Amino acid sequence: MHMDFSFSYYIGLAGIMVFAISGAIAALEHKEHHHDVFSVFFTGFITAIGGGTLRDITLGNYPVSWVKDENILWAIFLGFLLVIFFPKLLTKLRNELFLFDTLGIGIYTVLGTRIALDHGVNFFASALLGMISAIFGGVIRDTLMNEVPFIFRKEIYATACLAGAILYLILNSFSTNGNMNLVVSASVVVLIRIVAVRYNLGLPKIKIF
Amino acid sequence: MHMDFSFSYYIGLAGIMVFAISGAIAALEHKEHHHDVFSVFFTGFITAIGGGTLRDITLGNYPVSWVKDENILWAIFLGFLLVIFFPKLLTKLRNELFLFDTLGIGIYTVLGTRIALDHGVNFFASALLGMISAIFGGVIRDTLMNEVPFIFRKEIYATACLAGAILYLILNSFSTNGNMNLVVSASVVVLIRIVAVRYNLGLPKIKIF
Amino acid sequence: MHMDFSFSYYIGLAGIMVFAISGAIAALEHKEHHHDVFSVFFTGFITAIGGGTLRDITLGNYPVSWVKDENILWAIFLGFLLVIFFPKLLTKLRNELFLFDTLGIGIYTVLGTRIALDHGVNFFASALLGMISAIFGGVIRDTLMNEVPFIFRKEIYATACLAGAILYLILNSFSTNGNMNLVVSASVVVLIRIVAVRYNLGLPKIKIF
């Protein structure tokens, strides 16, 4: 996909930055972590680029995003600096960060699904790759922190991405208004996520053991 | 490799389904896991496609299998539905599932080795990639469950795959009867695995510390 | 990058072998590990090839190194044999092994950065990919051992690689003497690492929680 300097591009960069912040904070909150500047930066970096990189190498979509576009690295570095110099501000802005993270996964889901479609990928694989773009940085972050990934422990998160990806694919098959489809689908991800957190909603659980 | 609708193709799909079942059951048996429908499905999905995906991205074999062939996703979804709706049946069928899993790794090993050969890969790297195709979904599953992968803890499993892969490579250098070589080599994987479990056989251990 | 049979090629192989030794020893020291010959070999294998493989698949640099060059597998196998047959020697040679590991990450960092440059990658992404080449085998080893990766717990290691990679990129923009740049940059990695361990130096820590 041609990455133009559009609205979605800048929201995507903001999402990357927030992913990096969440990774850096996870490093700082972790007991076994060394908490030095490198390990904090690198945890943020992996969290931020993990999902998109996995999508790109699964698709053979070269060069992968952060290798092609240096702005992604600067967004990550900016997030890292914010964590180091304004930790108290970030603590106060927890709600705003949540909103950015949610916007980030919304945009990332739809952009990832779009990139998969552009590679001629089938319907459900495109939806899964869109979701993976959005969530897998967090999965890798948690795995490196030696924890069961939060997507397996918490309320609706990945499912919101999957729903948004599927909606985008359906809209896309009816309409050629790409920007409208993108905004609507990403908004649905954001909406589902916010409603799920606000009302503490979860998917039905399976109990067989 | 051209994926024709042959015997090995359907056995491969059955193997995928059993891998997905094993992943879904691992999620359901895990204490920290949320056990909602998404997380159970997604653990099964990663378990099922992990090994083949790692093989394909290591070879640059694009598009990777589940991105190309939607049947793989349906096989995974079917495995997931079986776990949800017939959990007691699956508990009863534990022996049959073991057999399918063993058939699955046998077929997967040989198909993976074949794909590596078709990419001009050297002897031992082909054998290792065949083995990785068969076992790495389980490795990723265990890592995400925050456990040391079972291939490092249990009786002969990966070794059976490695032996089958090497046998296939040797047979292949003597004979052009591809189907025969495939069946014999996969059978040897199955046989080694069954004998190892039946008689609780393991490889020699190393004790140096 | 054309892999010629030069000085850096053989040092690289020695580095691979030492990575494999460190992985095999990590397996043998691990309590939950089965300690059979396969699992010890395979842990060494993953440790040795993990970083270079991740670099290659992120770059789309096919065929990846160990798939192309069988010598890498032989170097890993040799490391494995040394662990099995001369464990006491390896214990005695701990200092020499440390030196080889340090040489290995130095060479690996610079070769990885070079390969990224040859793929037209931007400055900082090249430096990060050079570092990832050197350290990610160890990250994967620790993750599979169910531990927080040592790069997040110990003294300066990855940072030495990052510094060497950036130095190489700077030297490279001034001078076309590739071998000189390689030797100087790898030496700086080695020097930083040795000084850090000798004087127990670490990066500044961040304490915000």
Residue C158 CA to residue A127 CA, distance in Å, equals 36
Q: Which of residues 95-124 of B touch C (CB under 8 A)?
A: 116, 119-124
Residue pair C103/C11 in contact by the 8 Å Cβ criterion? yes
What chain A residue is nearest to B146 in terms of C-alpha separation?
Answer: A148
How far does B144 lie from chain A, in Å, by closest CA? 6
Contact B33 A148 (CB under 8 A): yes
- For residue B2, pLDDT over 70 is answered with no
How far does C151 lie from chain A, in Å, by closest CA? 7
Does A43 contact chain C (CB < 8 Å)? Answer: yes
- For residue B11, pLDDT over 90 is answered with no
Q: Which of residues 149-208 of C touch A (CB under 8 A)?
A: 149, 151-154, 156, 158-159, 162, 202-208
Instruction: Quickly state the pLDDT bin for A101 (edges 50, 70, 90).
Output: confident
- Output A27 or A32, whichever has higher pLDDT: A27
Residue pair A27/A40 in contact by the 8 Å Cβ criterion? yes
Selected residue of C55, C56, C58 to mutate for chain A interface (largest A Cβ count, 10 A): C58
Q: Which of A44, A96, A95, A52 is nearest to A74 (CA)?
A: A44
- For residue C2, pLDDT over 50 is answered with no
Residue C72 CA to residue C137 CA, distance in Å, equals 14
Q: What angle do CA B91, B97, B98 make, to 5 degrees?
A: 115
ipTM (interface pTM): 0.89
Contact C144 B147 (CB under 8 A): no
Share above pLDDT 90 across residues of chain C, in percent, rounded to a whole number: 52
Mutual angle of helices B158-174 and B123-144, in 10-degree steps:
160
What chain C residue is nearest to A26 in terms of C-alpha separation?
Answer: C209
pLDDT in tens, B37-71: 888 999 999 999 999 999 999 999 999 999 999 99
pLDDT in tens, C158-198: 999 999 999 999 999 987 777 889 889 999 999 999 999 88
Residue type, A187: S
Q: Which of A104-113, B32-41, B71-80, B184-193 has the lowest mean pLDDT?
A: B32-41
How big is the A-C interface in CB pairs under 8 Å?
A: 91
Q: Considering only the C-alpha atoms of chain A, give the largest distance between any 2 of them, rounded to a whole number of Å.
A: 52
How far does C133 lie from chain B, in Å, by closest CA? 15
- Nearest CB to B28 within list A121, A204, A209: A209
Q: What is the DSSP letter of C161?
A: H
Residue A73 CA to residue C64 CA, distance in Å, equals 25
- Output B202 or A58, whichever has higher pLDDT: A58
Element (DSSP H or E) covering residue B192: helix B178-198
How far does C56 lie from chain B, in Å, by closest CA? 8
pLDDT in tens, A194-206: 999 888 888 888 7
Name the neighbours of A, counting chains with at least 3 Cβ pairs within 8 A: B, C
How far does C58 lie from chain B, in Å, by closest CA? 10
Phi, psi of B36 (to 5 degrees): -85, 165
Does A93 contact chain C (CB < 8 Å)? Answer: no
Q: What is the DSSP letter of C203?
A: P
Instruction: Quickly state the pLDDT bin for C34 (edges 50, 70, 90).
Output: confident
SS3 A86: coil
Within 8 A of C148 by CB-CB distance, chain A residues are 30, 32-33, 144-146
Average pLDDT on A177-198 reads 90
pLDDT in tens, C64-95: 999 999 999 999 999 999 998 887 787 787 77
Instruction: Give the model's pLDDT for residue C1.
Output: 43
Selected residue of B33, B35, B65, B90 to mutate for chain A interface (largest A Cβ count, 10 A): B35
Write down the domain spans for chain B.
7-198
What chain A residue is nearest to B148 in terms of C-alpha separation?
Answer: A146
Q: Which of A1-5, B62-66, C45-49, C51-55 has the lowest mean pLDDT?
A: A1-5
Of A151-165, B20-34, B129-143, give the range with the top mean pLDDT. B129-143
How far does A29 lie from chain C, in Å, by closest CA? 7
Contact B143 C143 (CB under 8 A): yes
Q: Which of A76, A136, A50, A33 is nearest to C151 (CA)?
A: A33
Residue type, C85: F
Instruction: Give the model's pLDDT for residue C155.
Output: 67
Instruction: Quickly state the pLDDT bin for C50 (edges 50, 70, 90).
Output: very high
Instruction: Quickly state the pLDDT bin for B74 (edges 50, 70, 90).
Output: very high
Within 8 A of C145 by CB-CB distance, chain B residues are 148
Arithmetic mean of pLDDT over chain A: 88
Instruction: Give the model's pLDDT for residue C3.
Output: 43
Instruction: Give the model's pLDDT for residue A1.
Output: 42
Instruction: Give the model's pLDDT for residue A90.
Output: 78
Residue C7 CA to residue C30 CA, distance in Å, equals 35
- Nearest CB to A204 within list B37, B66, B70: B37
Residue A158 CA to residue A101 CA, distance in Å, equals 13
Does A81 contact chain C (CB < 8 Å)? Answer: no
How far does A89 lie from chain B, in Å, by closest CA? 32
Average pLDDT on C26-54 reads 88
Instruction: Give the model's pLDDT for residue A208.
Output: 67
Q: How many residues does chain C have?
A: 209
